[in-house]
Structure 1
Amino acid sequence: MASVRFENVTKKFGDFVAVANFNLEIKDKEFLVLLGPSGCGKTTTMRMVAGLEEPTSGDIYIDADRINDVLPKYRDVAMVFQSYALYPHLTVEDNIGYPLKIRKVPPDEYKRRIVEVARRVELDTMLKRLPKELSGGQRQRVALARAIVRTPRVFLMDEPLSNLDAKLRTQMRAELKHLQHELQVTTIYVTHDQIEAMTLAHRVAVMNRGVIEQLGTPREIYSDPRTLFVAGFIGSPAMNLVSGEVRGGVFARAGLRVGGAGRFDVRRAVLGARPEDIQVTSAEDPDVNLVAPIYSVELTGENTLVSLQLGGELITLRADKNFAGQIDQPVGVKIATDRMFLFDAETERRVYF
């Protein structure tokens, strides 16, 4: 297996900087997710490992081997694309075995490895079918099997679940996680879906505008966001971010006051609070931070999402599944001050208190 290392890697397309001075080490057998919105540089970063893009400057290593000038076919990486990219005229067996055929693997080993991998991804009864006879999830498993059969040093996965429906995505996430644990192959996974990142990754690199905003375990990224971008990007529903100012340890804006905001005054501040750290209570409660009318109520099954309107912003919180509030009903809100976050709106960096 292998580690992957980026040293001061920059990629430009003309005057546009897609990836800027990128430094990252992906450990042997690690599942590393590059997470970010479209255009943040995550796919470009992965394509440079595959050899589909060349770095403008900097170096990329697999183990001790500098691979900048190595042809893609000699890098010993396997890539799974967003589209299944299957050969429509070939059977499942032939699609899976195509990388082995190119490498002229002996017939006995060729057959054994295809059967073994097909069994692993539960396709062993479908080897004679054509892609058009398969469901979306089955086609994606063929694409995975085609990558696995090579036993590469590194797996590269470019949003492989984005074309699947919600139920299949959930199923395939579990299968991917189990496969990576079983195969123990270093994996770089690109996605804009923070649920995939949180559920699959050993570590997540949150990217924005060609740089890593934060690198850490899913728990660290969720519980300790260091920038305003990371705070707003991670979480479903997203963290509530409310603009205001901090004076004398109190965060304030029209209609909202929250104490315990530290000893630093911040002229342009943003208060962050996750939906599960906000409690809905009676509008008559004297200890509330905010009284506001209910904007919407959404039962999700295990709990109820309640949105309140504060000026032009919405605040979303998680209430009990039996919550019976009505739209336009005024309610009180208490924010858990020991679990709230504060950011400087000018630097977009976390203010610790």
Structure 2
Amino acid sequence: MASVVFQHVVKKFGAFTAVSDLNLEVRDKKLLVLLGPSGCGKTTTMRMVAGLEEVTAGDIFIGSDRVNGVLPKYRDVAMVFQSYALYPHLSVADNIGYPLKIRKVPEDKRRRMIMEVARRVELDGLLDRLPKQLSGGQRQRVALARAIIRTPKVFLMDEPLSNLDAKLRVQMRAELKHLQHELQVTTIYVTHDQIEAMTLADRVAVMNKGVIEQLGTPREIYNDPRTLFVAGFIGSPPMNLIDGEVKDGVFTSPGGIRVDGLGSASVARAVLGVRPEDIHVIPAGGAKANIAAPIYSVELTGESTLVTVRAGAALLAVRADKNFAGDYDQIVQVGFSPERAFVFDRQSQERVDF
């Protein structure tokens, strides 16, 4: 297998820069997720590895080989796309074995390899079916099996689960994670879904406007966001972000929110960030509250209740106990510890440590 290394990689389409000075290592046998919104450059980055897009500047290495200018068929990578891209007139077995047929692998060896890979993805009882006779999850397994059978140096996966329903996505995430661990193949996985990124990745590269805003493990990205963009993009529901001012370690906002204990920081255009699970509804007579605000909505999610309150112009999400009961416009007291809050500079977009 092999690592994938980007050194000062730039990709331009005319005057538009899709990827800017990218420096990144995808470690051998690990799964790295390129995460970001549409147009951030993540798919372009992956396509440059595949050889489907030319590099404008910089170098890409697969293992010790510089692959700039190398034709896609000689790069030894396998791609799994958002669309299944199966041949409708071929059986499951023939779809899986097609890369081997192109390579002129003998039929008996091809049959053995098809059976082995099909068992791995639980398709061994469906080998004679056509794609139209399969469910969406089964079709995606065929596409995965076709990639696996090539035993490539690198897997490239471009939003492979986005066409599946919610239940199948959860199931396929678990299967993908297990397969990657079992196969030990270096994998680059592209998605805009931060839940997929958090559950699948060894490391996550959060991209925005062609640059990597933060690179780290899912836990690091979630617990230690370095920029305002990362803080707002990671999390479901996302982090609450409140505009205001920090003066001598005290945050205040037009919505009447006040948070003490932020060190000695002073930021004229500040954004206070706090995750919904770190805010608590405080019962009457309880600890001091940061906010007293009316309930805007109450949503039972099963394991908890998501309470949204309106503080001035801001809507704040609070993850409360599953048995919480409250009425619209009821005033509730909510609070959080300053140790669980983040402060960002609105102008620089960087986190302010205190």
Question: When the two structures are superposed, what TM-score results if normalisation uses the length of structure 1?
Answer: 0.99
SS in 2 for 1:84: coil
Partner of 1:288: 289
Match of 1:307 in 2: 308
SS in 2 for 1:34: strand
C-alpha distance in structure 1 between counterparts of 2:150 and 2:334, whole Å = 56
Q: Per-residue CA shift, 1:25-70, capped at 9, x if unaligned?
A: 1110010000000000000000000000001010000011000111
The whole-number CA distance in structure 1 between the counterparts of 2:105 and 2:244 is 65
Say whether 1:258 aligns with 2:286: no
1:72 aligns with 2:90: no
- 1:255-310 per-residue CA deviation (whole Å, 9 max, x = no partner) reads 11000122121000000000010011246657111100000000111110000012
CA-to-partner distance for each residue in 1:161-203, whole Å, 9 max, x for gaps? Answer: 0000000000000000000000000000000000000000000
Matched residues in 1 for 2:337 and 2:121: separation? 45
Please say if 1:267 is aligned against 2:268. yes
Q: What is aligned with 1:204?
A: 204
CA apart distance, 1:335 = 1.4
Q: Could you tell me which runs of 5 or more consecutive residues in structure 1 were left unpaired when the two chains were aligned.
A: none
Looking at structure 2, the residues matched to 118 and 184 of structure 1 have their Cα atoms a distance apart, in angstroms, of 18
Aligned residue in 2 for 1:182: 182
Contact kept? 1:76, 1:153, Cα under 8 Å: yes
Distance 1:153 1:277 in 2: 42
Q: Paired residue for 1:220?
A: 220
Distance 1:297 1:133 in 2: 42
Match of 2:317 in 1: 316
DSSP-derived class of the 2:7 partner: strand
The aligned amino acid for 1:335 is F
Does structure 2 conserve the Cα–Cα contact (< 8 Å) formed by 1:204 and 1:217? yes
**Residues 123 and 311 of structure 1: CA distance in aligned 2, closer, same or farther (over 3 Å):** same
| Higher mean C-alpha deviation, range 148-157 or range 257-266 | 257-266
Partner of 2:248: 248
State the match for 1:336 in structure 2: 337
1:128–1:333 distance in 2 versus 1, CA, 3 Å: same
Q: Please state how far the C-alpha of 1:108 moved relative to its aligned partner.
A: 1.5
Contact 1:31 1:200 in 2 (8 A): yes
Q: Is the 8 A contact 1:308 1:314 kept in 2?
A: yes
Q: Partners in 1 of 2:112 and 2:286 — Cα distance?
A: 70
- How far the C-alpha of 1:250 sits from its partner, in A, is 0.4
* Deviations 1:96-132 (CA, angstroms, capped at 9, x unpaired): 0010000001112100110000000000000010000
**1:239 and 1:274 in contact (8 A); partners too:** yes
Structure 1 distance, partners of 2:205, 2:24, is 9
SS in 1 for 2:222: helix
What is the alpha-carbon distance in structure 2 between the residues aligned to residue 74 and residue 80 of structure 1? 17
Q: Distance in 2 between matches of 1:3 and 1:247?
A: 47
Superposed CA RMSD in Å reads 0.9
2:112 — aligned with what?
Answer: 112
| Residue 55 (structure 2) pairs with residue 58 (structure 1) | no
- Native 8 Å contact 1:285 1:332 kept in 2: no
Please tell me the residue identity of whatever aligns with 1:192. H
Alpha-carbon distance between aligned partners in 1 of 2:191 and 2:270, rounded to the nearest angstrom: 30
Aligned to 2:97: 97
Does the C-alpha gap of structure 1 residues 152 and 286 become closer, same or farther in structure 2, counting only changes over 3 Å? closer
What is the distance in 1 between the residues matched to 2:109 and 2:284?
72
The AA in structure 1 aligned to 2:225 is: P
Cα distance per residue 1:223-274 (max 9 Å; x no partner):
0000000000000110000000001210001211000122121000000000
* Contact persistence 1:283–1:291 (CA under 8 A): no
Contact 1:284–1:332 (Cα < 8 Å) also in 2: no
> What letter matches 1:288 in structure 2?
A
> In structure 2, what is the Cα distance between the partners aligned to 1:283 and 1:44?
54
User: Tell me, what secondary structure is at the counterpart of 1:293?
Assistant: strand
The correspondence of residues 21-40 of structure 1 with structure 2, limited to 5 A, is 21-40=21-40
Read off the aligned partner of 2:326 and give its amino acid letter. G
Instruction: Please name the residue that 1:193 is paired with.
Output: 193
Residues of 2 paired with 1:92 and 1:151: CA distance? 18
Q: Give the gaps of 5 or more residues in structure 2.
A: none
Contact 1:283 1:330 (C-alpha < 8 Å) held by counterparts: no
Matching residue of 1:147: 147
Following the alignment from structure 1 to structure 2, what is the Cα–Cα distance between the partners of residues 178 and 336? 38
Structure 1 CA distance for aligned equivalents of residues 129 and 340 of structure 2: 53
8 Å CA contact retained: 1:303, 1:319: yes
Q: Distance in 2 between matches of 1:190 and 1:47?
A: 10
Instruction: Identify the residue that residue 349 of structure 2 maps to in structure 1.
Output: 348
Tell me how many residue pairs correspond in the alignment. 353
Partner Cα distance (1:88, 1:108) in 2: 24
